[in-house]
Amino acid sequence: MPHRILGCSAVMLAAALIFTQAARAQDPAPGLQDLVGARGSSGEQALQERGYKFVKGEKSGGDSYTNWRHARSGQCITVRTAQGRYQSIVTAPDFDCQGGAAERAPAPGPSSSSGRFATVCGVTVEGKPYRYKCTVEGAMPGGRGKTVVRYPDQTITLNWRGGRRVNVTFEGMKPQPLTYNTAEGTTQFLFEDKTYFYVSDRDAARMEVQNFRE
């Protein structure tokens, strides 16, 4: 009987430890709670600027879950995104950041590709915006690579240079060194008194395309 009691106690103690570790793993990630509510692309850029590198991600229902690891501390976090915005950022156990792309190859930094997707782009002239259905492919805004935005009658190539700098090449023209801004999932830059823009966040782009009216 004493052995059975001890065995039962050991099991209960182990279960309690596991529960405690799991609960601790779901604590809000310190120093990142200001990003809750941010657009997906803006949040990704902010995480990268703070030293986090993407590991892997998956979808469940309408939500997406991505794991990130801090390059210096090794802290693993989980980000839940819904409707194009960060809903929660919590600490995660180390095994959640194992077996992902970061362990098989160099983790993608800001240059991680957004793939190709339909979006809404346009240009603002004298305060009046003109919007079109477009496509975009390549690096996320600010990445170490390039992005190609295809307007109905123009192709614009953006070569990101770090910071807020970008070389913009209009089809048939020479590259122009400019500055850009990304806010609420939309990236824009000023050229010849005209503001060019495109919805760079994939989830926001999907909704914009669905609600687009000629």
Q: Could you give the domains of the chain?
A: 26-104 (3.10.450), 113-210 (2.40.128)
Q: What pLDDT score was predicted for residue 109?
A: 40
| 136 burial level (CB within 10 Å; 0-12, 13-18, 19+) | buried
Please name the helix (run of DSSP H) or strand (run of DSSP E) that holds residue 203, with its range, or none: helix 202-210
- Give residue-wise pLDDT tens across range 146-182: 999 999 999 999 999 888 899 999 998 999 999 999 8
| pLDDT tens figures, 190-204 | 999 999 999 998 888
Helix (H) or strand (E) holding 43: helix 40-49
Mean pLDDT of the chain: 81
pTM above 0.85, yes or no: no
Answer yes or no: is pLDDT of 139 > 90.
Answer: no
Mean predicted confidence (pLDDT) in 120-143: 91
CA distance 150 to 57: 28
